[in-house]
A and B are shown apart, each in its own frame.
Chain A
Amino acid sequence: MSTSFLRMEGICKNFGGVKALRNVDFEVNTGEIHCLAGENGCGKSTLIKIVSGAHQATSGTIFINGLEEKKLTPIASIKRGIQVIYQDFAIFPNLTVAENIAMNSALMQGKKRMNWKAARTLAVEAMSKIGAHMDPDILVERLSVSNRQMVAICRAIMNDAKLLILDEPTTALTHHEVSMLYDILRKLKAKGMAIVIVNHKLDEIYEIADRLTILRNGENVATGPLKEFTRSRFVHCMTGREIVDNLYIPEPSSEVILEVKSLGREGAFKDVSFTLEKGDVLGITGLLGSGRGEIGDALFGIHPSEEGSIFLNGKPINIRSIQDATTHRIGYVPEDRLTQGLFLTRSIMDNTVAASIEKYFVKGRLDEAKMDEVTWEWIRRIGCVASDSKAPIRTLSGGNAQKMVIAKWMNINPSILILNGPTVGVDIGSKSDIHKILHEFAHAGVGVIIISDDLSELYYNCNKLVVMEGGLSSGVIMTNTLREEELASLLHGNSLEN
């Protein structure tokens, strides 16, 4: 019989004048997997931080196991059995697996001495509980992302966790690893644990959630069992508007922008070929490690290819470094916006011209007025919501910031624009804005390549697809010859019928 473990009623949280949460009710039962979804800035991270004790609610009540919690501090939260696994896991790369796993409980028990043997035993025990097998003495810095996540989970459950909160746990995992993770979560659920997953990926939510809560603008707009949510209801609750998905079909053109022949790099991918004509939006997908990201790395010069040839507008080119790529006007919008794409403390203007400063070096000095002018042009054209071009770009929301990263590359007047995971962590409204803009650019003659693992994004926005598996490509598939489910099955290793 599942009971309410956590019940939050009428939670409000203000930061200065900003109302991050308004009257939010949220309830999680034991033995259930509850997904918390919402756009960027909807308040889901604030809610999680209140549950973990990192923030205090401005008003509202929190009940844990039926008892009211007057003041939930981080220590109190941990003592009640609430464990949060953040996106970067917050584990120690310079310590061993055993230490990482055993550390929390040792700290909680106020232990002064470090007992290595006990730590090791504890770690092995925790790992067996979830079916992980790692060398407890290995330093975490040598582990893959998925294994690090295991370590984080082991650590969490060692603390007698009753509520496990995972913040966007699947972003860096391959599909197989996601399945493994979900198996572990189901096992824990069967043991009565309450689990909250913050996730934005529709397909994954549908695979694992029992119940769903959607936040929008700081309010709880919908809660209920998963079966009460159709896809359109889900999207409608998230954005407040109806999003219509149509397949992207460009005007046919014979103008070939990019031709890639038998491109390969040892250990990454082999014999990849495709062409990009004017108007094309090419989608490259595949599981993590299949070569999908690596092709983008090769075209942008991050990890150059070793064999094969690349033709840009009919002429053969050699890309051995990022400088080569930018000389040929190839742009790249990276996966990790915060560390790779943005200069957070710099102004929106600085970020917009970062890749094209040379253009503004006129008559022996930099023309700042022109840079500002160009920034405003882009802000308007790309639909970014910003009031001051000199404000630091970290004041923008994820979606708006991403738009400016795209603007940065569009400002070099690119022949090719490669985007790796362009809409990760971007709200659904901005997501569709970005797709629209990319279609416009493609129409104007920019070769657009989208590398992504978001199947619906690829299906509805790319007219051509390349599916990678184990470094080998499926060849170019015209999207309009596929049904969406077929794409999913193709991704998981089943070849097309015809």
Chain B
Amino acid sequence: MNVLHSLLRGKERKNNLILMLLALSIFIAMTILSPRAFLRPANLKGMAVQFPEFGILSFGMMIAMISGGIDLSLVGIANLSSIVAAVIMLQMGDSVLSIVLGILGALAIGAACGVFNGFLIGYLKIPAMLVTLCGLQLYSGLGLAITKGPAITGLPERYGEIANGSLIAGIPNPVFVFLAVAIAVGYLMRSTVYGSHVSFMGTNEVAAKYSGINNLKVTIYTYLISGLMGSIGGILISSHYNSAKSDYGKSYTLLTLLIVVLGGTDPSGGKGNILGVSLAVIVLQMISSAFNILRINSFVKTFVWGLILIAIMLISKLIDRKERR
């Protein structure tokens, strides 16, 4: 009960409640509108495989935002990590060891890119937006340099099991990966010293420094974790499609931004919660699937994402202004 209480406090509580209701209403609406298409096991499975991909990326964006910055390079890190994993696995053939090494390679890349980002932001004090925008270009470019253009295919079958298989009760594996990461990140942000420090730093960097918080360390850890989120996402994506390419998921940058803002993360830093972001992920996945089932043009999706983002920010700003009065 205590856990639940600490998961829902104050304004976060209201926001999360709204999201839960939203998720429920969309689910119900879709069940009524196209029960056969929506409730089809294939569709539910499809949703369950897909949302962890951008969902985990959103966690990275969330952490970066809480720290007072932003991570626009996540998609680039995801692709680069998956490419490196693919190269390793193709070199080493089809074995458990090869896959493990591939995954480790991907994670190492995510960590390295993250540390690079964190260093530029925390030590050289270059604004996060600029660093990660450039980073996106750099990491994607590196990925392109390795693949020389076309996607890398023919990955080990067992690797595909990660995203496409299900170890427990027919529930796709990515769901468990998502849950595990969500719980880990949630614990990190809510219940550790580091989590408090990130939040303080995002609220007021100067006061954090003067309170004895090591801003440089916190920043580097933050983007390191974000980078890892990127590579985990990349692993899921490449496992799902059995290929690694340097420009997958281009639309995910906007999507992750939308998700974290919808999930109650404050763009100016200091505030955010994992439950909110997770709920936002699910809401957006359902809207996305709904669009597919209702045969709505996928470009309309882009249009709608933009509208929702603007709407959320406006509503949140209006509420803020009313409260200040």
Residues of A at the B interface (CB closer than 8 Å) are 322-323, 325-326, 332, 334, 339-346, 350, 354-355, 357-358, 361, 364-366, 368, 408
Contacts and interface: CB of A to CB of B under 8 A. Distances in A.
A481 B289 CA distance: 83
Contacts of A368: 6
B193 A325 contact: no
Contact of A357 (B187, B197, B209, B214): B197
A325 B212 contact: yes
A338 B66 CA distance: 21
A358 B187 CA distance: 15
B34 interface: no
B203 interface: yes
B51 interface: no
Given A323-B212, A346-B270, A354-B211, A365 B191 contact: yes
Nearest to A340: B210
Given A357-B196, A357-B197, A366-B191, A340 B206 contact: yes
Given A323-B212, A325-B212, A355-B212, A364 B207 contact: no
Interface string B188-221: 0011110111001001101111111110000000
B218 to A, nearest CB: 12
Contacts of A323: 212, 214
A322 B203 contact: no
A243 B214 CA distance: 41
Contacts of A325: 212
B210 A332 contact: yes
Given A354-B208, A358-B193, A366-B195, 11 more contacts: A323-B214, A334-B210, A340-B210, A346-B200, A346-B270, A354-B200, A355-B212, A357-B193, A361-B193, A365-B192, A366-B192
A365 B7 CA distance: 13
Contacts of A326: 212
A340 B207 contact: yes
A322 B191 CA distance: 24
B212 A341 contact: no
A342 B197 contact: no
Contacts of A366: 190-193, 195-196
A343 B6 contact: no
Contacts of B208: 343, 354
Contact of B204 (A339, A355, A357): A339
Interface in B158-212: 187, 190-193, 195-197, 200, 203-204, 206-212
19 contacts: A322-B210, A322-B212, A322-B214, A340-B207, A342-B207, A343-B203, A343-B207, A343-B270, A345-B203, A345-B270, A346-B200, A354-B200, A354-B208, A354-B211, A354-B213, A355-B211, A357-B193, A358-B193, A361-B193
A326 B204 CA distance: 19
Nearest to A366: B191
A242 to B, nearest CB: 36
A361 B197 CA distance: 13
Nearest to B212: A326
A433 B52 CA distance: 55
Given A325-B212, A364-B191, A346 B203 contact: yes
B9 to A, nearest CB: 9
A364 B206 CA distance: 28
Contacts of A365: 187, 190-192
